[in-house]
């Protein structure tokens, strides 16, 4: 049976559209706002939504997302509360939700238990950035048994032999890191990324989605004909800092993020 993520990309390919996938932090500043943002993003035409599970030692996130995680953790947010909040949504009517979650959290809860809860809450896929992609075979089977997808990350610096191993335990799409280093807003798309995307096109039929540094509509055009999706994290989460600093109220932040998402979706969906 096809997963929701597979069906999503199949429909986008038929329409010759690039997927737009925003990232938000669960629980920053609280889960009620998280639910409101998910609804707003869905209404603005995004294709998938990545939900970050706050963690005290994120492996690849830049300062904007780290700060967001810290604010959520200061509220003593728990995984069970995230699952409960997401489970209150009508997830079948929403774009597929993808959990970005440290494998340290998954391991503590237990792989089978965590994946079962994720599926019940309505998530369609998982990204575990600190689980080595070439060591993920066992967890991949656990995830696929629930008809969820395990999305793997590859960077321009990942050796190609290792990329081939990673692809063996990957489904849904490949998360292609745009640049070496951590997440954050950058000015342009690196040539080394474009070269890797061309190579990956020959190695896998999985959709290729680009994240880390994608932050504005101008970043989309170089990806056309090479990538199947664009992921934006810091470019969205930074608006939650304005809320934390008292520079914006909740409604304004939701509207600002929604307007940005609408512009990005329109760009991704234009031919």
Residuewise pLDDT in 10s, the chain (271 residues): 899 999 999 999 999 999 999 999 999 999 999 999 999 999 999 999 999 999 987 665 678 898 999 999 999 999 999 999 999 999 999 999 999 999 999 999 999 999 999 999 999 999 999 998 878 999 999 999 999 999 999 988 899 999 999 999 999 999 999 865 444 444 445 678 888 999 999 999 999 999 987 888 888 888 888 999 999 989 899 999 888 889 989 999 999 999 999 999 999 998 7
C-alpha span between 158 and 206 (Å, rounded): 18
61, 202, 242, 271: the active-site residue: 61
From the candidates 50, 228, 245, 251, give the one annotated as an active-site residue. Answer: 50
192 part of the active site:
no
Q: Cβ distance 50 to 98 under 8 Å?
A: yes
pLDDT for 54 equals 95
Q: What pLDDT was estimated at residue 184? A: 42
DSSP letter string over 180-239?
A: SS-----SS--HHHHHHHHHHHHH--S-EEEESS--SGGGTGGGTTT-SEEEESHHHHHH
- 112-124 in b/e form (b: 16+ CB < 10 A) is eebbebbbebbbb
pLDDT of residue 59: 63
* Helix 31-43 × helix 250-269 angle, to 10°: 30
Q: Can you tell me whether residue 208 is helix, strand or coil?
A: strand
d(Cα 34, Cα 210) in Å, to the nearest integer?
23
Query: Nearest 5°: phi and psi at 91?
Result: -65, -25
- Best CA proximity match to 259, nearest among 243, 230, 236: 236
C-alpha torsion sign, points 133, 135, 137, 138: negative
For position 183, what pLDDT does the model report?
Answer: 44
Determine whether 61 is an active site residue: yes
- Cβ neighbours of residue 119 under 8 Å, at least 6 residues apart? 146, 147, 148
């Amino acid at each position: 049976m096809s997963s929701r993520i597979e069906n999503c990309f199949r429909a986008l390919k038929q329409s010759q559209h690039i997927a737009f996938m925003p990232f938000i932090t669960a629980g920053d500043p609280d889960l009620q706002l998280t639910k409101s943002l998910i609804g707003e993003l869905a209404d603005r035409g995004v294709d998938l939504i990545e939900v970050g599970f706050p963690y005290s030692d994120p492996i690849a996130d830049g300062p904007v997302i780290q700060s967001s995680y810290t604010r959520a953790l200061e509220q003593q947010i728990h995984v069970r509360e995230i699952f409960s909040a997401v489970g209150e949504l009508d997830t079948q009517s929403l774009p597929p939700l993808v959990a970005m979650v440290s494998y340290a959290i998954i391991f503590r809860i237990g792989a089978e238990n965590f994946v079962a809860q994720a599926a019940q809450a309505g998530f369609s896929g998982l990204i575990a950035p600190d689980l080595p992609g070439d060591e993920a075979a066992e967890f991949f089977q656990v995830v696929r048994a629930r008809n969820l997808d395990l999305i793997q990350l590859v960077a321009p610096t990942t050796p190609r032999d290792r990329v081939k191993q990673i692809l063996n335990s990957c489904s849904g799409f490949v998360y292609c890191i745009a640049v070496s280093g951590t997440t954050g807003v950058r000015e342009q798309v690196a040539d080394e990324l474009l070269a890797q995307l061309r190579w990956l096109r020959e190695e896998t039929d999985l959709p290729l989605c680009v994240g880390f540094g994608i932050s504005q509509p101008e970043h989309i055009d170089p990806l056309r004909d090479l990538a199947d999706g664009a992921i934006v994290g810091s470019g969205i989460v930074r608006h939650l800092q304005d809320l934390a600093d008292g520079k914006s109220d909740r409604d304004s932040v939701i509207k600002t993020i929604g307007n940005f998402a609408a512009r990005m979706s329109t760009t991704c969906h234009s031919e």
